A and B are shown apart, each in its own frame.
Chain A
Amino acid sequence: MKETMNADKNAEMSLQAAIAQLPKEIVPERDLWSGIDKAINQSATLADNNDKKKAFTPVAWAASIVAAVLLTWVTLGPEQLTSKPQINLVAAMQQDFEQQKQTMLVNFGAPDIKQLPVAMQTELVKLSSAQNTISKALADDPNNSDLLNLLRWTQQQELDLLNQLYSPQWQTI
């Protein structure tokens, strides 16, 4: 029993001594540096390529943004440029309509519209109201040709109605 314990103790001590004497360094059989050097230089080349890609990326982004802005300007620019003339066109249409209306009324001897039958007055108010609504809609969407045509049609309807109401020809008939 004691001999076994002593043997174990000796084995443990010899193991401990062997661990303490283990060499910290072992020399590899082949030269490892050449492979490492090759790998490092390959990775450096790859890194250079990545750097070039990294440098190219902002330029590509900038070019894309410029292209997008140009495309937007080319596509929407002319419409935006014509939007103000469209608003002016609406104003011009209204002005032209008012002039025609005033000229017509003066020609008819500046009649008092309040003397007209209520149904006719209501028709004129409806047409005027329609024109206001269309004009407001055109302020938001000045390029809408349907609204422009509708405005022109309502103006013409009002002029036609006034002409029918006050024209001597119509009165004669």
Chain B
Amino acid sequence: MDKLKIIDANKCFSPDLEPQWIAQAQQGDQQAFHHLYQSYHRRIYALCWRMMADKDSAEDVCQEVFVQLWQKISNFRGESKFSTWLHSVATNIVLGHIRKNKTWIQRIFSIEDQPVKDTMVEMPECSNLDQKIQTLPERARLVFVLFAIEGYRHEEIANMLGMAVGTSKAQYHRARTLLRESLSE
């Protein structure tokens, strides 16, 4: 019986099953979708948390990502890796959420939120760098997460954030400088 359980667990977490789960989820199979959620929700939550710098908002947006994934999964044609496609969907949803929560004055004049250093909730389970990333100003943080962690190019980041490529590079440089200073303290 125990042996059978081990075999089932291995089968469940085998990466070869992912295309099957995707195909089944595209046909409306919620069980298969749950397998995809189990595989990816921690990575998507990490993306949301790093970009939003707020635990509660990150949890809400992570849920939103998977709800929208369920609705849009039929759009996935297998032209890229599923994880790449999912991360791009998640990134767009997070950015949309950040834009939606800005006041019209902030939107028009591109005013940044203040760094969240003073209000940040300590998360001891997170790495030191993750804690420091949370203290970065919003635009520097978004560019840093997208470039250094998610692997987007500055051209893509500039397009997503509605800024010039040079601005994206400058924000990345600013983020690195701030993080270096913060880590050497």
Contacts and interface: CB of A to CB of B under 8 A. Distances in A.
Are A and B subunits of one complex? yes
Nearest to B69: A36
Nearest to A19: B148
Contacts of A33: 34, 37, 41
Tell me the dominant secondary structure on chain B's binding face.
helix
A25 B183 contact: no
A32 B61 CA distance: 10
Interface residues of A, number: 28
Contacts of A69: none
A11 interface: yes
A26 B148 contact: no
Given A30-B59, A32-B59, A39 B67 contact: yes
15 contacts: A10-B184, A11-B184, A14-B184, A15-B183, A19-B148, A23-B130, A24-B43, A26-B46, A26-B130, A27-B125, A29-B55, A32-B41, A33-B34, A36-B67, A40-B30
A26 B67 contact: no
A43 B127 contact: no
Contacts, number: 84
Given A19-B148, A33-B34, A25 B67 contact: no
Contacts of A24: 43, 46
Nearest to A11: B180
A26 B126 contact: yes
Given A32-B41, A36-B37, 9 more contacts: A14-B183, A18-B129, A22-B149, A26-B45, A26-B49, A26-B126, A36-B66, A36-B67, A40-B70
B94 interface: no
Q: Which of B34, B58, B180 has the most CB of A within 10 A?
A: B180
Contact of A15 (B42, B49, B179): B179
Tell me the dominant secondary structure on chain A's binding face.
helix
Contacts of B148: 19
A8 B177 CA distance: 10
Contacts of B37: 33, 36
A70 interface: no
B183 A21 contact: no
A37 B42 CA distance: 17
A13 to B, nearest CB: 10
A29 B183 contact: no
